[in-house]
Amino acid sequence: MPRTASKPTKKRSKPYTVTSSDTDPVPSASSKTKKSSKENDEKYKLFNKYANTSSGVIDPEGIEKLCSKLKVSHTDIKILMLAWKMKAERQGYFTKAEWRRALKALKVDTIKKLKKALPELEKEVRKPLHFADFYAYAFRYCLTDERQNCIDIETICQLLDLVLGSTFRDQVDHFVDYLKIQNDYKVITMDQWMGFYRFCNEISFPDMTNYSLELAWWPLILDNFFEWMREKQA
């Protein structure tokens, strides 16, 4: 009897094992949108707690309430730094868009989180990369009218103490003393304001041996300050 060729045995494929990666849902665009929308809602709810219901912005009274919750004075430099982070255009007023910009950048949506973020914000601002921009912003923020381009001496003295006092104490104290006794200037311009910042960073103080009256790039007010200091030191 002839032998019959046996059929080749088929290999059984291994059963497919379901892994966690197969069952984990991939976030959809709609879920991301919902999350973003929820985060915005929380920021806006917080904004509405301090906003004036008539104007729809946080006004000076609202900022006072905000500062009270944050347990900082409205004159604390951290509030000015928060305004800088918002890119707030009008002194004493925060719009909803400005509020959202800052809270989104700081990744906060509650007062508790905002309070914790303020010290980190101060560290960020005090980095040389950011501080010059913050210093210039502080001047612009104090301009209360669109046509205004200078600030009165009294306000400038307070602003210098707030913004530069902790970094250049000696220079600020002497310059403020000079501003208070001189009679040539009633207001300070942005050019003069930025010139003093450069003076603090570049000129050795109080000897000022590397300051030259012959260099035209220093504002005249700093030449006068230099000569006043020389008279005091004589």
The answer to whether 112 and 42 are in contact (CB under 8 A) is no
The answer to whether 19 and 11 are in contact (CB under 8 A) is no
Q: Could you tell me the two tokens for 191?
A: 């050019």
Q: What's the mean pLDDT in 142-153?
A: 93
Q: Using the predicted structure, report yes or no on whether residue 111 has a pLDDT greater than 50.
A: yes
Note the pLDDT of residue 39.
56
Q: Using the predicted structure, report yes or no on whether residue 3 has a pLDDT greater than 50.
A: no
Span 159-194, pLDDT tens digits: 999 999 999 999 999 999 999 999 999 999 999 999
Query: What burial class does residue 54 get, using C-beta atoms within 10 Å of its C-beta: 0-12 exposed, 13-18 middle, 19+ buried?
Result: exposed
Note the pLDDT of residue 146.
85
Note the pLDDT of residue 41.
76
